[in-house]
Amino acid sequence: MYSNGYIFRYAAILVIIAAAVLSTANMVLKPFQERNMAIEKMGYILASADIKGVNTKNAIEKFNDYVVEEILVNSKGDVIDSYKEGKMEDGKAFKINMKEELYKKSKGQDFELPIYVINKDGETIYVLPLLGTGLWGPIWGNMALKDDLNTIVGVTFDHKGETPGLGAEIATKQFQDQFIGKKIFDDNGNFTSIKVVKGGVKTLPEAARIHGVDAISGGTITSQGVDAMLSNVLESYLPYLEKHRKK
């Protein structure tokens, strides 16, 4: 029979060894995990601008081909960093933590947000990252705007745990394609955002339909989350948009 002391020491040694192995594995795998996350992020940004043929093997190359500038703006809409040379994934804007910056905004503090400028066949497209909360967790995405900083070229959305067949539909082409051609300012220059409308845009006045999309049937809370995300984040970019958009 082994003594209690022996068993305790043996168990303690196993715990220490296991912790050391897990810690080492985490350190070894972390660079690969971060690279995969960066590649996924690049893919979403390019997809919002309707860049075709992007996959995990060529995402970095295409990102550097199409993204001609990364801009970092502050809460007043001033450009505080512009990155045009070198690998675009090394830019300060690419490394910004949206969650931390939007938290600063919620506390009334100064914040910084990234903008990606894409040149697609001679057309300038501005991509604004998005972050919000759905029914079961975070939701996020990107909105690509034409150089008028008003008309939507495309969007991407994704989520961590929305319900399949319901809220998870925000990640589908059917939902996202509704945003193409919509506008975030009205004819008088007033900011409208894009409304995600329960019951469909047909319930809106005709003049307002250019600023709305149909909500997801059965995904009310997630639809409201997308609506709130768009309003909150686009409002955060509003000082920059007001300064630079074509009127």
What percent of the chain clears pLDDT 90, i.e. is strictly above it? Answer: 80
Distance CA 43, CA 37 (A): 10
What angle in degrees, to the nearest 10, is found between the helix axes of 4-48 and 59-66? Answer: 40
- The pLDDT value recorded for residue 5 is 60
The tokens describing 189, both together, are 């220059």
Tens digits of per-residue pLDDT, 20-75?
A: 656 665 565 455 567 788 999 999 999 999 999 999 999 999 999 999 999 999 99
Average pLDDT over residues 111-139: 97
pLDDT in tens, 77-99: 999 999 998 899 999 999 999 99
Residue 160 has pLDDT above 50, yes or no: yes
Task: Summarize the confidence of residues 216-232 as an average pLDDT.
Answer: 96
- Tens digit of each residue's pLDDT (9 = 90 or more) over 164-191: 999 999 999 999 999 999 999 999 999 9
Q: Taking the domains of the chain in order of start, what are their residue ranges?
A: 37-244
The pTM assigned to this predicted structure is: 0.86
Is residue 197 predicted with pLDDT exceeding 50? Answer: yes
pLDDT of residue 245: 86
Residue 228 has pLDDT above 70, yes or no: yes
What's residue 246's pLDDT? 74
> Do 175 and 227 contact (CB within 8 A), yes or no?
no
Q: Could you write out the DSSP letters of every residue in 59-122?
A: HHHHHHHHEEEEEEEETTS-EEEEE-SS-GGGSTTTT--HHHHHHHHHTT---EEEEEEEEETT
> What are the C-alpha distances in Å from 222 to residues 135, 154, 155, 215?
5, 19, 16, 9
